[in-house]
């Protein structure tokens, strides 16, 4: 009996060790395929889902919580608009993520973008065509090569100042430099409390339909409603936005600002890809 007991005890210890190693491996291997990190937009307890704004794409996605492991997750029904989280799971479709776990934001998930980096500008070198930013995830300086950057989708990087918070998308080189496809300012505007279920959001993500330079606006089809929205750019921060007159029909963009009182148009503060 003692031999059998020892065998069972040993087997239990081995199983626990393997489980621990599996958990560590899972934490290390969080990536864009099995993890999302973003900001809560709204919480719908009745229909068992959250809406979050994804860090990488800037798009809103529905997080289906019905199959979530509640023992390994935070209490999602106490979340509020503006809270940050990481969720692991699988895609149910192109708009819905089926969560198996929801937790506080983790650097092992999507705080470091798979195809880019977010951080504060520390140097702008026009002579050598690069900028340097301090990566938020690693606290290390990263050189951003902007020679092949798409200037149509980017802010004017030579107007950047030390301390500006930006996101650069592109490809990593073997030397650890990011070869940028485009550079935009990172959102620092909090979502309106309550999100779509309470007040009007201060961010619109959608697809450009037309541009009217003479009247200082362009039109986008809002992802959330499917309706066309007129974007008034007369008071837009041009330093923190790409040149909106170079937008094309079909471009996917995010606009931050505020609705007018009669909701006939959205007044842009900042535009970014």
Asked if CATH classification 3.90.650.10 holds for the domain at 35-103, the reply, yes or no, is no
pLDDT of residue 24: 35
pLDDT of residue 184: 92
pLDDT of residue 57: 65
The DSSP code sequence of 164-207 is -EEEEEEEE-TTS-EEEEEEEEPP-PPPPTTGGGTS--SEEEEE
Q: What is the CATH number of domain 195-272?
A: 2.40.50.320
pLDDT of residue 27: 37
Residue 88, beta-bridge partner list:
35, 101
Domain with CATH 2.40.50.140 in the chain: 116-185
Question: Model-level pTM?
Answer: 0.55
pLDDT of residue 130: 96
Domain with CATH 2.40.50.320 in the chain: 35-103, 195-272
Q: What is the CATH number of domain 116-185?
A: 2.40.50.140
Tens of pLDDT along the chain (273 residues)? 555 555 555 555 555 444 444 333 333 344 444 678 888 888 999 999 999 987 766 678 899 999 999 888 999 998 888 788 888 888 888 789 999 999 887 544 433 455 778 899 999 999 999 999 998 877 889 999 999 999 999 999 999 999 999 999 888 888 888 999 999 998 653 333 233 333 345 888 888 999 999 999 999 998 878 889 999 999 999 999 999 999 999 888 899 999 988 888 999 999 998
């Amino acid at each position: 009996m003692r031999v059998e007991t020892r065998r069972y005890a040993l087997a239990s210890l081995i199983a626990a060790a393997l489980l621990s190693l599996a958990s560590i491996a899972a934490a290390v291997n969080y990536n864009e395929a099995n993890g999302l990190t973003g900001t809560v937009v709204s919480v719908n307890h009745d229909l068992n889902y959250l809406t979050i704004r994804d860090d990488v794409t800037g798009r809103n996605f529905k997080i289906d919580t019905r199959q979530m492991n509640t023992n390994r997750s935070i209490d999602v029904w106490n979340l509020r608009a503006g809270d940050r989280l990481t969720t692991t799971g699988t895609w149910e479709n192109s708009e819905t993520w089926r969560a198996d776990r929801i937790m506080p934001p983790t650097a092992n998930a999507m705080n470091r973008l798979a195809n880019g980096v977010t951080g504060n500008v520390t140097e702008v070198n026009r002579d050598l065509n690069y900028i340097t930013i301090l990566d938020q995830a690693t606290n290390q300086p990263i050189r951003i090569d902007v020679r092949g950057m798409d200037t149509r989708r980017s802010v004017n990087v030579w107007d950047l100042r030390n301390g500006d918070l930006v996101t650069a998308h592109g490809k990593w080189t073997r030397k650890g430099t990011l070869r940028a496809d485009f550079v935009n300012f990172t959102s620092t505007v909090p979502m309106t409390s309550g999100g779509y279920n309470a007040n009007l959001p201060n961010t619109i993500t959608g697809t450009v339909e037309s541009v009217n330079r003479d009247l200082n606006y362009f039109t986008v089809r809002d992802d959330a409603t499917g309706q066309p929205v007129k974007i008034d750019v007369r008071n837009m921060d041009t330093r923190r936005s790409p040149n909106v007159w170079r937008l094309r029909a079909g471009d996917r963009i995010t606009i931050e600002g505020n609705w007018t009182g009669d909701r006939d148009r959205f007044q842009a503060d900042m535009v970014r890809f």
